[in-house]
Amino acid sequence: MSGVHTHLDHGRADRRLLGVALALILAVLVGEVVVGLLARSLALLADAGHMLTDAAALALAVFASWAASLPARGRFTFGYARTEILAALANGVTLAVIAVWILIEARLRLADPPDVDATLVLFVAAGGILVNGLVLAVLARARRESLNVRGAYLHVATDMAAFAGTLVAAGLILVTGWDRFDPLASLFVAALMLAGAWSLIRESGRIFLEGAPTSAPPEDVGRAIAANAGVVETHDLHVWTVTSGFPALSAHVLVEPGADCHRIRLELEQMLRDRFGLEHTTLQVEHVGVESGLALRTFSR
């Protein structure tokens, strides 16, 4: 139970940090939309759109972190831990949709660029870099193994890089007078958003499809169990991820006649915890000769 309490404590700390980050992002978002409209800057409005997803990502992350802390009840025997993964998936999809819109708009503005108030854009972009740097410093203190927190962090990190691109574009416009640097910068923003979206969708999809964590490849886990002293074979091995930082395993283990099933189970649990980070394990340990049913995957010495 200590691991559960530690997870809950981390969740509370994450929510506080995400709340602070959300307040900072909202303050910058309002200012950026106003200035972007006045300056007629697509790059700045693209950043504002990205920051809107940042704000939504942070708000959703706060809610998901709270929902994940609710106790298991009724038919939800693992609780609501995967709410965080749903939030990460939603953030990834939203990021991709906004990136596509920016690509379409940038294409139009490359063909017919409007006048851009580059001086105003320059100052706002510099302010955005400062604020996003502060937000990243706050989020860096949260758990990075949480896909929910990583999704929020990724939104802000790409937004900071987008501000840097906007800053460079504004400087180039001031020097050259070529307004197409603004939509070119927005293309850079869109590329960052698509990369971030793909990362979130891929990781959340792996968890929803019950994929094993990278730290515990099933083949390696199966061979490690079979190599333990007294074990003859293991089968019906399943390794999956309930939510970020919560991998789980179940397996049927056959041991030598006369072997101490309880001792071997404890040894296997310790090995799986130390070597593969698997703390939630369900091991059915029996002597050879006990009817075990259909074996989906078998590992033997």
**What pLDDT does residue 297 have?**
59
The CATH topology of domain 218-300 is GMP Synthetase; Chain A, domain 3 (3.30.300)
Handedness of CA 21, 208, 81, 281 (dihedral sign): negative
65: confidence class by pLDDT, cuts 50, 70, 90: confident
Per-residue pLDDT band for 162 (boundaries 50, 70, 90) equals confident
DSSP secondary structure letters along 162-223? HHHHHHHHHHHHHHH--TTHHHHHHHHHHHHHHHHHHHHHHHHHHHHTTPPPTTS-HHHHHH
pLDDT in tens, 78-88: 788 888 888 88
Task: Calculate the average pLDDT of the chain.
Answer: 83
- The order of strands in the sheet holding 298-300 is 280-287, 246-255, 231-243, 298-300
Q: What is the pLDDT of residues 24-39, one digit of tens each?
A: 888 878 877 887 788 7
Q: Residue 5: is its pLDDT beyond 60?
A: no
pTM higher than 0.75, yes or no?
A: no
Tens digits of residue pLDDT in 111-155 = 887 777 788 778 878 887 888 888 888 888 776 567 888 878 877
Would you say domain 2-208 falls under CATH 1.20.1510.10?
A: yes
Torsion of CA 249, 255, 258, 264, to 10 degrees: -40
In sequence order, which residues have a C-beta less than 8 Å from that of residue 55 and are 6 or more positions away?
Answer: 22, 25, 26, 29
Domain boundaries defined on the chain = 2-208, 218-300
Residue 288 confidence (pLDDT): 86
Which residues face 253 on adjacent strands? Answer: 234, 285
**Angstrom distance (rounded) from CA 199 to CA 252:** 34
> How many CA atoms, within 13 angstroms, populate the side-chain half-sphere of residue 290?
17
The H or E element containing residue 286 is strand 280-287
Helix then strand count (H, E) for the chain reads 8, 4
Among the listed residues 162, 165, 156, the one whose alpha carbon sits nearest the alpha carbon of residue 136: 156
Return d(Cα 199, Cα 186) in angstroms, integer. 20
The letter for the amino acid at 15 is R
Q: What's 49's DSSP letter?
A: H
